[in-house]
Structure 1
Amino acid sequence: MSNRIKLIIQASWVGIAGNTLLAFVKMYVGFTAHSQSVIGDGIDTFSDILTYVIILFTARISQKPPSVKYPYGYLRAETIASKFLSFFIFFAGAQLLYANLSTLISGKERALPEALALYVTAVSIVGKFLLAYWQFYIGKKTNSRMLIANAKNMRADVVLSISVLIGTAATLYFQMPLIDTLLAIVVSLWILRIGFKVFMESNTELMDGVDDTSAYERVFEAADAVKGAYNPHRARIRKMSNLYLIDLDIEVDGQMSVSDSHKIGVAVEQEIKDRLDNVYDIMIHIEPKGNYEVDEKFGLSRDQL
């Protein structure tokens, strides 16, 4: 098992343990202190436990070796998991929005919560913040989209808990449950925005694109640095989890032997690896110098950047 996968699994177990503790505490206090907002916060925390279970399952799938059906391996399972996580985030926001709009429209007043709800919410904010920070740290370190996506979900939970704290405090101070309802509606819209953003971010990889288009410049610079390699063109760069898959056409002297042409191709590959981190695979297509093919309809040339 790679060190990257070990870190992702470790971060997932930390998330499961932390969220399980927070969820049970918030649910218990929510019922005993008669706070609907704290109960809702606890339910949202329970949904986080499920997302971590998905991450654990996906991490184990992604380390499987390539197969006949999936010759590139299973690393894209992380991107698919990020897509599922975006649905969970969006669902949580939609559920919160619906519940509070229903309360607002019906005119039904919520019972005033007890002060105990304030204390457990404050503890929840600290716990959620630490978990979110840990997830972002490991997500950035391992370049894991699904961990970063879940960290954004955790960050939304922090804002949710802050709104619960403010709403509960304002409700107790002003004796107005309406404040809690209005704040919850605002937070639910913010959570919906995060869910949509995570959904859109995973689209780039699923569409065989890259967010950092400067990678193309480095590929062309690498080809230019190799003597005997001409006209790098039809470059295609994809990402699979945290790794790059690169295809590139280059031209060489048409009178050169296959062996010498191969050496130039290998040199270009090495130059690319020296300039670009996390390269999974490089495919170099060699053509005779001056070759032109009318039906080349995909890939990028330097003048298209």
Structure 2
Amino acid sequence: MSEHHHHHHDVSGKNLLITIVLNIIITISQIIGGILSGSLALLSDALHNFSDVLSLVIAYVANRLAARRNTEEKTFGYKRAEILAAFFNASILIGIGLFLITEAFHKFYHPEVINSIWVITLGMLSIVLNALSVFLIKDDAHDNINIKAAYLHLLTDVMTSVAVVAGGLLIYYFNLFWIDPLVSLLIAFYLIWASIGLVKEAFSILMQFTPTDIKIEDVIKAIKSIEEIEDVHHIHIWKLNDKSTHLEAHLDYKNNLLLEQTGKILDNLEALLYHKFKITHTTFQCEYKRNDNKNIINN
């Protein structure tokens, strides 16, 4: 069994806390403005920003949990806390998107006069503060699925706020009040589209599916390229989180080797699998002429 350790960018808790405060300011101002102006698009953006506050709080807590050390009671620690957070956050976004679609259609059939000044002003405020939030956590989003989910929330907020402002300008100059629910619909569809991929990725990790970038047949070929290994079976490959990929398998040796010899062979094999597939943790059961099930995947 082995574990290859490599450095990852440390997530900044301070930056996450700042983005939480910024999004609380946006949410409160947009709720007040949405009620006073009668704009569904502004309230939609406020609801989206409120989901950001929740997602950022969850992301922060999950990040702190994931940093805890493993114990005898929790041998994997809280490594999957961030995956659960990402799955929850992305699922919430899809739910919000579906809610906004129903509200937008209601507005189409029952249009209301909207105070566009509120929409434009608060939309601009949202653009500025969300752009700052995106800048603060941009680096952390590259190699952390949990922060990536929060980053996605914030990035969509910038774009949806641009749409809100554009809608407000059209209402101000041309009295096109149907633009408001249309913008809300566009926000909703984008939310759903942007979140589905993240839900699928987090779900596949939680279900311990084989990572999509790894082909079992390629791993088998690499393992059998080691001269002393005759065959490999009972393979399982899964991700513990977005940083750690695990593999376990039974290895059939061609000869009845000493334990010291098999250890040297495993060292070479583990290095090969890490450099070729980024598999960070391996567990092998070494066998010689054992009469067991030789299926590659064991049910």
TM-score, length of structure 2 as denominator length: 0.83
- Say which structure, 1 or 2, has more relative contact order (CA 8 Å, 6+ apart): 2
CA distance in 1: counterparts of 2:13 and 2:277, whole angstroms: 27
| Corresponding residue for residue 139 of structure 1 | 141
Checking the alignment, whether the CA contact within 8 Å between 2:40 and 2:180 is kept in structure 1 is: no
Cα pair distance change 1:213/1:34, threshold 3 Å: closer
Cα pair distance change 1:297/1:251, threshold 3 Å: closer
Q: Which runs of 4+ in 1 moved over 6 A?
A: none
Letter in structure 1 aligned against 2:214: S
Deviates more, 1:182-191 or 1:48-57: 182-191
| Corresponding residue for residue 277 of structure 1 | 278
Checking the alignment, whether the CA contact within 8 Å between 1:89 and 1:191 is kept in structure 2 is: yes
Instruction: Give the one of 112, 120, 138 matched to 2:115.
Output: 112
Residue correspondence of structure 1 range 40-79 to structure 2 within 5 A: 40-79=44-83
CA distance in 2: counterparts of 1:296 and 1:221, whole angstroms: 15
CA distance in 2: counterparts of 1:282 and 1:129, whole angstroms: 41
| Corresponding residue for residue 298 of structure 1 | 297
How many percent identity over aligned positions? 17
Deviation track 1:236-268 (CA, whole Å, cap 9, x = no partner) reads: 211111111111332224432233223322332
| Corresponding residue for residue 16 of structure 2 | 12
Cα offset for 1:230?
A: 3.0
TM-score, length of structure 1 as denominator length: 0.81
Q: Does 1:259 align with 2:281?
A: no
The 3-state SS of whatever aligns with 1:7 is coil
Cα pair distance change 1:132/1:297, threshold 3 Å: same
Deviation track 1:165-204 (CA, whole Å, cap 9, x = no partner) reads: 1211111111121121122123212222333332222121
Residue correspondence of structure 1 range 243-258 to structure 2 within 5 A: 243-258=244-259
Checking the alignment, whether the CA contact within 8 Å between 1:215 and 1:276 is kept in structure 2 is: no
Residue correspondence of structure 1 range 219-238 to structure 2 within 5 A: 219-220=219-220, 222-224=222-224, 226-238=226-238
| Corresponding residue for residue 303 of structure 1 | none
| Corresponding residue for residue 183 of structure 1 | 183
Please, what is the CA RMSD of the aligned residues?
A: 3.1
Letter in structure 2 aligned against 1:138: D
Letter in structure 2 aligned against 1:22: I
- Flag structure 2 segments of 5+ consecutive residues without an equivalent: 1-5
- Flag structure 1 segments of 5+ consecutive residues without an equivalent: 301-305
Deviation track 1:207-251 (CA, whole Å, cap 9, x = no partner) reads: 212444336466446534544233244432111111111113322
CA distance in 2: counterparts of 1:36 and 1:112, whole angstroms: 11
Checking the alignment, whether the CA contact within 8 Å between 1:11 and 1:138 is kept in structure 2 is: no
| Corresponding residue for residue 207 of structure 1 | 207
CA distance in 2: counterparts of 1:111 and 1:127, whole angstroms: 24
